[in-house]
């Protein structure tokens, strides 16, 4: 491989000239499907291989007052496994997920940022940040007044708490950016960090998302707008992407951080490369705060922009990890958008909706799904769409070639992943299989 190949010079088909190539060299995830580094047997990929839904009845609080009583909880998380007791007490669960995921990603990449901390960035997304912690503190305030609340409250609830705490704990002095772009937050964090490295502003970035929304008022707010599934009698079947009987998403929690690395930097240290981030696109529907644009036009444009950024055509894409939230309107609009982008080639594209494995952890989901795509490309195996029985024959969803139970062995070369959120935010990432 020549320096020109590393920096995207002309000669490599489809790669824009002058831009640095960006590798994924570390994955750290804390999810209902599994927790650990990208190569850990019990981690996220282990959950994919087990193919068991990670959803169940809410146990974090009494959900009996709500129409929906299902969630995807991270049952075995112990903050003490990733930080000392003092730090665990100082951070709320959302920031604990962020720190744990970041540490796991660095360990997975076999990299310490000591000595390079000025050149390393942290980009982390979260739809709600520390809102669940604030909810618990409000209860303490009502019961005992101001003296009863945790002194760290003001420092824990803002959206940038995950990014800044991760940066402080690891001594990272480069850009630390937190965004709150709804359920697209994690994908946007990865996309913006990708651009930072692509244009030579930093050689390394920890990028992803974290979310801990499972508290009564926060959960209830989504129940009130009837966005969540009420399949309480069969909680493991509640999340049903693109299925004819889907009735809403299943709220989840968790975190996922990727180590993004300038390809030349990664090659110089002989890093394991899962995949390359090749393109990123973002648009807004400018239509409705909760409902997607029915014609899928802006979601489609986000995908097209990501493909253009990657120097790739739709006909090169072999796999799509869909947002697939299991909502009636959202899944249909995404299917319409995919049809607009791929046309007849859609028959050749394998599509997964993987949220039955880990629920919908809002701002963390886009990061989890980007990690899953990188792992799928690395392993040559596409994860199944669980709980899908059938789509309405005349619906746009019926045109999708969904990955069947058991998954599919396929060494895909180019893949796309979507993340869509309230406010009409659309984000798409294109990943390429590493062929070095």
From first to last of its 436 residues, what are the pLDDT tens digits of the chain? 444 456 654 334 455 667 999 999 999 999 999 999 998 888 999 999 999 999 999 999 999 999 999 999 999 899 999 999 999 999 999 999 999 999 999 999 999 998 788 999 999 999 999 999 999 999 999 999 999 999 989 888 888 899 999 999 999 999 999 999 999 999 999 999 999 999 999 999 999 999 999 999 999 999 999 999 999 999 999 999 999 999 999 999 999 999 999 999 999 999 999 999 999 999 999 999 999 999 999 999 999 999 999 999 999 999 999 999 999 999 999 999 999 999 999 999 999 999 999 999 999 999 999 999 999 999 999 999 999 999 999 999 999 999 998 999 999 999 999 999 999 999 999 999 999 8
**Does 273 reside within a domain?**
no
Candidates 7, 68, 239, 323; catalytic one:
323
Is position 206 within any domain? yes
Do 195 and 319 lie in a common domain? Answer: no
Burial of 358 (0-12, 13-18, 19+ CB in 10 A): buried
Single out the residue in 236, 268, 300 at which a domain terminates: 268
In a shared domain, residues 27 and 59: yes
Last residue of a domain, one of 268, 286, 309: 268
Whether residue 284 lies inside any domain: the answer is yes
Q: Please check whether residues 288 and 191 belong to one and the same domain.
A: no
- Residue 308 has a CB neighbour count (10 Å cut-off) of 14
**Active-site residue identified among 7, 68, 183, 239:** 183
Same domain, yes or no, for 313 and 251? Answer: no
- Cα 290 to chain center, whole Å? 19
Domain that holds residue 196: 3-268
In this structure, what is the dihedral angle of CA atoms 317, 319, 323, 326, given to the nearest 10 degrees? 130
How many domains is the chain built from? 2
Q: Is 263 found in the same domain as 306?
A: no
Same domain, 249 and 286: no
Residues 39 and 173 reside in one and the same domain: yes
Examine the residue annotation and report whether 183 is marked as an active-site residue of this protein: yes
Distances, alpha carbon 174 to alpha carbons 32, 104, 109, 193, 261, in Å: 31, 20, 19, 12, 14
Residue 128 lies in a domain: yes
Cβ–Cβ < 8 Å for 361, 329: no
> In this structure, are 283 and 380 located in the same domain?
yes
CA angle 368, 370, 374 (to 5 degrees): 115
**Which string of b and e fits 317-356 if b means at least 16 CB within 10 Å?**
bbbbbbbbbbbeebbbbbbbbbbbbbeeebeebbbbbbbb
Whole-model pTM?
0.95
Q: What is the CATH number of the domain that holds 370?
A: 3.40.47.10
Give the CA angle between residues 81, 108, 280 to the nearest 5°.
115
* Domain end marker among 250, 268, 286: 268
290 shares its domain with 253: no
360 catalytic per annotation:
yes
10-31 in b/e form (b: 16+ CB < 10 A) is eebeebbeebbbbbbbbbbbbb
Does residue 375 share a domain with residue 313? yes
Q: Pick the catalytic residue from 239, 256, 265, 360.
A: 360
Same domain as 183, residue 134: yes
Over the Cα atoms of the chain, what is R_g?
A: 20
Q: Is residue 120 part of a domain?
A: yes
């Amino acid at each position: 491989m020549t320096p020109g190949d590393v920096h995207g010079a002309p000669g490599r088909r489809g790669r824009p000239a002058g831009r640095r190539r960006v590798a994924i060299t570390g994955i750290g995830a804390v999810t209902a499907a599994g927790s650990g580094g990208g190569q850990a047997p019990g981690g996220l990929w282990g959950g994919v291989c087990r193919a068991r839904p990670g959803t169940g009845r809410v146990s974090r609080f009494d959900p009996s007052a709500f129409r929906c009583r299902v969630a995807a909880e991270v049952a075995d998380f112990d903050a003490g496994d990733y930080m000392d007791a003092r730090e665990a007490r100082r951070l709320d669960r959302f920031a604990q997920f962020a720190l744990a995921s970041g540490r796991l990603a660095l360990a997975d990449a076999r990299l310490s940022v000591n000595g390079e901390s000025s050149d390393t960035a942290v980009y982390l997304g979260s739809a709600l940040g520390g809102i669940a912690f604030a909810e618990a503190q409000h209860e303490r305030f009502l019961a005992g007044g101001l003296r009863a609340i945790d002194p760290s409250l003001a420092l824990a609830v803002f959206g940038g708490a995950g990014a800044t705490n991760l940066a402080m704990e690891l001594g990272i002095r480069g850009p630390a950016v937190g965004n709150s772009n709804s359920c697209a937050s994690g994908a946007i964090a990865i996309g913006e960090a990708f651009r930072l490295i692509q244009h030579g502003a930093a050689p390394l970035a920890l990028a992803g998302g974290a979310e801990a929304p499972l508290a009564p008022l926060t959960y209830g707010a989504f129940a009130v707008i009837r966005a969540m599934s009420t399949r309480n009698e069969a909680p493991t079947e509640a999340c049903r992407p693109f299925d004819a009987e889907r009735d809403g998403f299943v709220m989840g929690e968790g975190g996922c951080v990727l180590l993004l690395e300038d390809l030349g930097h990664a090659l110089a240290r002989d890093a394991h490369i899962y995949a390359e981030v090749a393109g990123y696109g973002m648009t807004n529907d400018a239509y409705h705060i909760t409902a997607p644009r029915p014609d899928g036009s802006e979601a489609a444009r986000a995908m097209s922009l990501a493909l253009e950024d990657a120097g790739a055509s739709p006909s090169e894409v072999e796999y799509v990890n869909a947002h697939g939230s299991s909502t009636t309107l959202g899944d249909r609009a995404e299917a319409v958008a995919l049809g607009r982008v791929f046309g007849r080639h859609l028959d050749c594209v394998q599509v997964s909706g993987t949220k039955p494995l880990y629920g919908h952890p809002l701002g963390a989901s886009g990061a989890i799904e980007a990690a899953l795509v990188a792992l799928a490309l690395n392993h040559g195996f596409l994860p199944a769409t669980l709980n899908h029985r059938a789509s309405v024959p005349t619906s746009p969803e019926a045109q999708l070639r969904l990955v069947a139970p058991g998954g599919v062995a396929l060494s895909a070369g180019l893949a796309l992943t979507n993340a869509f959120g309230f406010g009409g935010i659309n984000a798409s990432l294109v990943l390429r299989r590493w062929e070095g």
